[in-house]
A = this chain, B = another copy of it.
Amino acid sequence: MSFADRLIDAVRTKNTPLCIGIDPFVDKIPTALFGNAREDTSAVLKFSASIIDLAREYSGVVKPQLGLFEQFGEMGYATARLITEQARAASLIVILDAKRGDIGTTAEGYARATLGPSPGFDADCVTINPYLGLDTLEPFIATAQANAKGVAILVRTSNPGAGDVQDLQVGGAPVWRRVAEMLSPQQARLQGASGWSGLMAVAGATYPEEARMLRDALPHSLFLVPGYGAQGASAADAVSGFVKTPRGLEGGVVSSSRAVSYPPAAQSAANMNEWRAAIREAMAGAAAELRAACAA
């Protein structure tokens, strides 16, 4: 089954496009419950595993943020691999947020490292950067195509400086639009029976108008929408690049990390039961809010 079909199935089954980010912030992981993440990666492992264990009740998709694991060196890298394995064993789809991008044989190395089997992550999808050109995305797309996996290409991001390069005007359209046009012919290679393509586009929720323009350029691509929750975008903004279907709005997943992993009630929890209850409440709230936005 293609990655695109698996992803849209997960969204339909859970009836929400929520994707739960796995972001181990050393200063926010409650020390009393998990140990000191500054000193011990086992605290990172325990915390991330606990988030995944709860995530599967509310979402079909998780997104580990690799950079936050790599700050712990190879132990962090190994932790991210273990977490990915755990999530996949729990039938969660894993979008590895690695933001890789390199040329030639090195791109092949990264494609194997992220999408390939052990010692690779064997992730379902990986985020990649298009600045180096289409030939540098090819090893990732080819690996995805051969293994029923996906890629999520950074087209228009959600950070304050996203426009510095992405919004430069090229013949009346921004760079990100030209990137989308460059990617458009590739959609078919990762298209599933559902019609959706696993050549995903990252479309920041903080820029809903751009998401609609991006949808015009990439009608089949599933979107990976960051920026919902802690970064300030509303649920309605987050799904602005989705399209109307008989099931409601559909067309991708919306990731939430900080809001569902570090809600205030979890930060002040006295024990694991209280912590779990707080995380469940935050996850259920985000899932429901996005469900409602898609139904509207």
Chain A interface (Cβ < 8 Å from any Cβ of B): 23, 25, 65, 67-78, 81, 97, 99-107, 109-110, 112-113, 116, 118-120, 129-136, 154, 157-166, 168-171, 175, 178-179, 182
Contacts and interface: CB of A to CB of B under 8 A. Distances in A.
Contacts of A77: 70, 73-74, 77
Contact of A25 (B76, B105, B166): B105
Q: Count this chain's copies in the assembly.
A: 2
A125 B107 CA distance: 20
Contacts of A69: 109
Nearest to A114: B70
Q: Which of A73, A78, A136 has the most CB of B within 10 A?
A: A73
Contact of A157 (B67, B132, B157, B166): B132
B168 A67 contact: no
Contacts of A163: 133
26 contacts: A65-B102, A67-B110, A68-B109, A70-B109, A70-B110, A70-B113, A71-B110, A71-B112, A73-B118, A73-B119, A73-B120, A74-B77, A99-B101, A130-B131, A130-B164, A130-B165, A131-B166, A132-B157, A132-B161, A133-B159, A133-B162, A133-B166, A135-B164, A168-B178, A169-B170, A169-B171
Contacts of A132: 129, 154, 157, 159, 161-162, 165-166
Contacts of A158: 103
